[in-house]
A and B are shown apart, each in its own frame.
Chain A
Amino acid sequence: MLLVTCPYCGPRPEIEFRQAGEAHIARPAITCSDDEWADFLYMRDNHKGYMRERWRHVAGCGRFFNVVRHTVTDKFVASYKVGEEKPAIPAEAAAGPRVEIVR
């Protein structure tokens, strides 16, 4: 079970949280084009690697907050409050061979 750090409460087990999708999707003004609106409603990134995501401490303080999580390793490298500056995405470690060979 993942250990998720709530910026308000500290590290807590995963079962207290709910993932809430990709972070920093701005809601466009009502005057936006249909394409922009469709992007806002439906288009989400889902790549291998670090993603900025929203989580909610639903069985704790109830707050929504943002994290940087790696979608392959599940490692959380940052969690920050709504409105706070985005932390940098760490460089992806070189993949390297699946199995290292020694003699």
Chain B
Amino acid sequence: MFQDQIQMIQSITPFLLEGLWLTFRITIIGIVVGSLIGMVLGTLRSLRIPGLTALIGLYIHLFRGSPFLVQLYIFYYLLPELGVAWLQFDSMQAAVITLCLYTGSYVTEIVNSAIAALPKGQDEAARAVGMTKAQSLWYVVLPQALRMIIPPMSGVFVIIIKSTAILSVVGLSELTRQGQIASLRFPGDLLLIYVCVAALYFVYCYPVLKFADWAEKRIGGVTLKMR
């Protein structure tokens, strides 16, 4: 009775898995590069250097205060229009750059909040024994801040995974795009196909969410106004 459906699933599974694999790789790049951006900018922002703080604030507001889809359009359609050689992005480049900057804006905010949440006495004690500002950051402030960012970072990871679905609009064959293609091949099984797609997203997100819960209980973290 379900013969057809089983066959259909068998035939689309390799494509969906391929899509999941691409989604996986892109999210990992986004998380790694976004974290690096966030660590550096979040730390710099905590130093309260007048012009720099404002500049980083602008970056955060632009990327957190606008839809990811719009950001993607700007990087994919608008910037190449400007005719500047190094702004000629193909879909993959536009997708990865946008995702990294988008992730970075979240992580910057998280790192900055974590540093701000640390009691002021920690930095003061470090300065009082003669550490420089940089030494205090490196040996005292950041090691403690990094513990606090683990739970909210897991939350960001899940947001990033889900955001990659939007990358399908520039033709990147990640998981959602593969689902769309499959539904063109099997228009009658739309529901089943998207159930499969959702299941695969779930398989990827669930462990991360579980980890976030566990980390939250274990470590406690910075609470952020997310979304």
Q: Do A and B come from one complex?
A: no
Interface of A with B (CB < 8 Å)?
A: none
